[in-house]
Structure 1
Amino acid sequence: MPSPKSIPIRDPKYKPTNIIKQSKEQGRHVTIAGPMVRYSKLPFRELCRFYNLDIVYTPMILAREFVRNDIARYSDFTTNDKDKSVIVQCGVNSVSDFMKFIEMINPFVDGIGINCGCPIRDQIKEGIGAALMSKPKLVAEMISTAKAKYGDSVCIDTKIRIHNDINETIEFVKMVEQAGSDMITIHGRTKNTRSSTPVDLDAIKTLRKHINIPVIANGDCFTKKDFDRIVDYAKVDGVMSARGILANPALFTGLDKTPWSAVEMFMHLVTCYGLPFGLSQHHITQLLENVIPKSYIRQINELKNMIELIDYLDEHFILKRKGEDGFATAVEPQWRQ
């Protein structure tokens, strides 16, 4: 990774809070692709922007590993000059690790998100993710220390879940806002709530009334109708989708199924930038899960490498390459006869 001193300053128009402000002036709400472990890598982030998402997250990066380990840095984070507006999701539980992480990565991103919501048991045992929901003073200290040193040059999003007692969450958001958080993203479930349980929009709506900075709602956004319903009900500044975007990166355009253009563009990006085959394979099956018969999904899952995947798609579909007429424009699958 280049020295921060050797790279140009980020364009402030891509700062997440400025994106939100611009969207509000345009009479609309921001769209955000949420952080997904392993899957929010550079090719998928660029795919999301092909469908005009405003802000895209990286996967969660463990601050302690990132600052100490060259291998972790190069495997966890890659970027380019098209990668904006991008927020890096940070798993952290100490002020010193957070400050070192910011120093190293802030020149390469438009915002930094503190993960206070990941419910994975191993992460909670390490004191990160949802474990931080019981440590508001620590979260506030991380934010205030960063702001004292970097000011507005660092944009911080505090991504949280809710407590069983909403009053505890109200106190939490007040504390992190006072500490200097630039925005707050609220996943409307507790750390123990299953994803099959509907998100608590009433909790998000209640919290919104106590927060004076931009608020993003997270949870249960799988279609454009979901997006409209959430912003109308909770009065938030935008909506973050993770599982929905993984299945259909064009969902905010109003398409209820993944368009074929996404498959062509993803294959172009992944062959340009590179991505482990297992991840590429999983992305393709997610994109096509509700688009083609299950028998084809099973066959794709049995493929062993990228060459087999490309050959399979070429055998059964018309998979256009960049430069060909109509590349990444089709909505329906382009079957071969």
Structure 2
Amino acid sequence: MMKIGNIELKSNVILAPMAGITDKTYRTICKKFGAGLVCTEMISAKGLLYNDKKTHTLMDIDTGDTPVSLQIFGSDPDIMEKIVIEKLNKMDTFQILDINMGCPAPKIVKNGDGSALMKNPKLAGEIMKRVKAASTKPVTVKFRKGWNDESINFLEIGKIAQDAGIDAVTLHGRTREQFYSGKADWDSIRKLKENMDIPVIGNGDIFTPKDVLDMIEYTGCDGVMIGRGAFGNPWIFRDSNELLKGNEIEEAISHEEKLRQLSEHVEMLVREKPERVALMQMRKHAGWYIKGLRGAAEMRGSFNKVKTRDEMIELINEYIEKINKNS
């Protein structure tokens, strides 16, 4: 277990905030499988200030998923401070506030937000200091190793965060220039942990429960954040928790179980969003759930053609029947 401020997590295996992925439905699923903390998609501070409808949709949180971290991004200290005082402090649906200083997306960094803040440590520090001072909830920061190989400044950003009173930091062991390519540098996570007094959460190249254990043992980090490794694989939280307890992990997830979880995901998402929108979003999730299954290419093609919830559920049931007949 680990603590972030006054919030105690039941597990130190955490779901990363991911745009277009970690909506309320997927957070609920990962929480069910044992994620110690789930995080919203990143939310624009400016969007909150101007009451943007889409921004408020991203803030739809199931209180049963507690604890939840709400992630904001922006580069204007005045706006960041203002939305914390006027809006976020009044919300009781989330327990931890996270500042995004790691997103590499061009549309984010071109405005000076996300990982672009690592190029301006003074501004990054001002944002952290003012958000922390304004917030009634614990505040965390997620950042990268640096902007590029010529600008590796994670230690500097980490120290600034600690001096600003930030309650915990998450380090993705890649530079912004790398995006998600190459190998994550776990040495940077270890070095940051060695130089910090606040909790350090490691992120990058976590695809199996063994990776979770290896990262903790190698870096000494307090927690592990899982991003792409959770795509179509919420079981990674359950199995990671078991491995960390010293227990043996169950056998590989059966194809039928993966398809039944896919079916549940469809049902949940259709309840949360317009059917057409839900089915479009389920195409990518379906591809992840069925990866490695026999006939996955055929299934993917079929799922991409469905137009209703009933069609998709029927297809899933047909594939389950085929699996049972062939087993």
| TM band (smaller chain) | 0.7 to 0.9
TM-score, normalised to structure 1, is 0.82
Aligned to 2:270: 271
Among residues 215, 225, 235, which one is paired with 1:240 in the alignment?
A: 225
Contact 1:285 1:301 in 2 (8 A): no
Contact 2:170 2:203 in 1 (8 A): yes
Say if 2:68 is the partner of 1:86.
Answer: yes
Contact 1:66 1:72 in 2 (8 A): no
Aligned to 1:6: none
- 1:150-165 to 2 correspondences below 5 Å: 150=135, 153-163=136-146, 164=149
Say if 2:290 is the partner of 1:300.
Answer: no
Q: Note closer, same or farther for the CA distance 1:144–1:196 as it changes in structure 2 (3 Å cut).
A: closer
- 1:179-218 to 2 correspondences below 5 Å: 179-218=164-203
Contact 1:143 1:176 in 2 (8 A): yes
Contact 1:257 1:290 in 2 (8 A): no
SS at match of 2:70: strand
Aligned to 1:111: 96
Aligned to 1:168: 153
Q: Counterparts of 2:301 and 2:175 in 1: how far apart (Å)?
A: 34
Among residues 279, 282, 285, which one is paired with 1:283 in the alignment?
A: 285
Gapped runs of 5+ residues in structure 1? 1-12, 24-28, 319-332
- Look up the equivalent residue of 1:170 and give its one-letter code: L
Displacement of 1:197 in angstroms is 0.8
Say if 2:13 is the partner of 1:68.
Answer: no
Q: Counterparts of 1:15 and 1:269 in 2: how far apart (Å)?
A: 30
- 1:134-145 to 2 correspondences below 5 Å: 134-145=119-130
- Look up the equivalent residue of 1:162 and give its one-letter code: K
Q: Counterparts of 1:235 and 1:252 in 2: how far apart (Å)?
A: 19
Aligned to 2:20: 38
- 1:16-55 to 2 correspondences below 5 Å: 16-19=4-7, 30-55=12-37
Displacement of 1:173 in angstroms is 0.9
RMSD: 2.5
Contact 2:208 2:229 in 1 (8 A): yes
Contact 1:217 1:239 in 2 (8 A): yes
Q: Note closer, same or farther for the CA distance 1:264–1:15 as it changes in structure 2 (3 Å cut).
A: farther
- Look up the equivalent residue of 1:270 and give its one-letter code: L
Q: Counterparts of 1:36 and 1:280 in 2: how far apart (Å)?
A: 15
Aligned to 1:253: 238
Aligned to 2:243: none
Contact 2:2 2:222 in 1 (8 A): no
Displacement of 1:165 in angstroms is 5.8
Q: Counterparts of 1:74 and 1:167 in 2: how far apart (Å)?
A: 35
Contact 1:158 1:183 in 2 (8 A): yes
Percent identity over the alignment? 27
SS at match of 1:162: strand
Contact 1:223 1:252 in 2 (8 A): no
Among residues 293, 314, 317, which one is paired with 1:314 in the alignment?
A: 317
Contact 2:139 2:166 in 1 (8 A): yes
Displacement of 1:155 in angstroms is 1.3
Displacement of 1:35 in angstroms is 1.0
TM-score, normalised to structure 2, is 0.84
Aligned to 1:59: 41
Displacement of 1:204 in angstroms is 1.0
Displacement of 1:184 in angstroms is 0.3
